Amino acid sequence: MEKALDINEIMKMLPHRYPFVLIDRVLDIVPGEKVTALKSVTANEPFFQGHFPENPVMPGVLIIEAMAQAGGILAFASLPQDMHGMLVYFMAIDKVKFRRPVVPGDQLVLDVTFLKKSSWAVKLACQATVDERKVSEAELTATFGKRAV
C-alpha cells in the first residue's frame, strides 16, 4: 500500500509539534518497508537565528532528527494497531555522514528503509538528499516506549 500523508496525518503519528516537527509531507509510504518524506527548509526556521545568521546552515543534528521522525512514521505505520500510540526512542545512531550543507530554500527528501525489525526495536537505513544529491546518511536504532499521553 503506497500513499502520501499531509501534515495533519503526520501529526497524528508523531508526538512532535512546532518548532520541532521536521516533516512537512510524506510522499510515499509502504508499511513494513520504506518511507519517503519531505522537509521544506525555509529562511524563517528558528534554528537559523543562531546557526548561522550570516551563513544559515541547517544543523546536522536536525537533519538526523528529521530522518528519525521519518523513521518514526514508518515504524508507526508498520506497527500492529494495539501498539499505536507508543513512543519511539533513539537507542543508537551509527555510520553518520554529512556530505553537503542544507540551506534555506532546499527541499530535504528523507528516504528510510527497515534493516531489522523486532517486537521491541527497529534498525533503519536513512538517507537525506537535496536535488537528488546526498547530503547525509545514517543508520538509526530505536525502541518502543510508553504510550504517548
- pTM of the predicted model, to two decimals? 0.93
Per-residue pLDDT tens over the stretch 18-68: 999 999 999 999 999 999 999 999 999 999 999 999 999 999 999 999 999
CA distance 61 to 13: 21
Domain ranges of the chain: 3-147
CA distance 51 to 59: 7
CATH fold for domain 3-147: Thiol Ester Dehydrase; Chain A (3.10.129)
Is residue 51 part of the annotated active site? The answer reads: yes
Q: Could you tell me the CA-to-CA distances from 65 to 9, 73, 83, 126, 136 in Å, in that order?
A: 19, 12, 22, 11, 12
* Residues 94, 57, 11, 110, CA torsion sign: negative
Is the Cβ–Cβ distance between 93 and 67 less than 8 Å?
no
The H or E element containing residue 78 is helix 60-78
The residue from 16, 25, 51, 134 that is catalytic is 51
Portion of the chain with pLDDT greater than 90, in percent: 78
Per-residue pLDDT tens over the stretch 125-141: 999 999 999 999 999 99
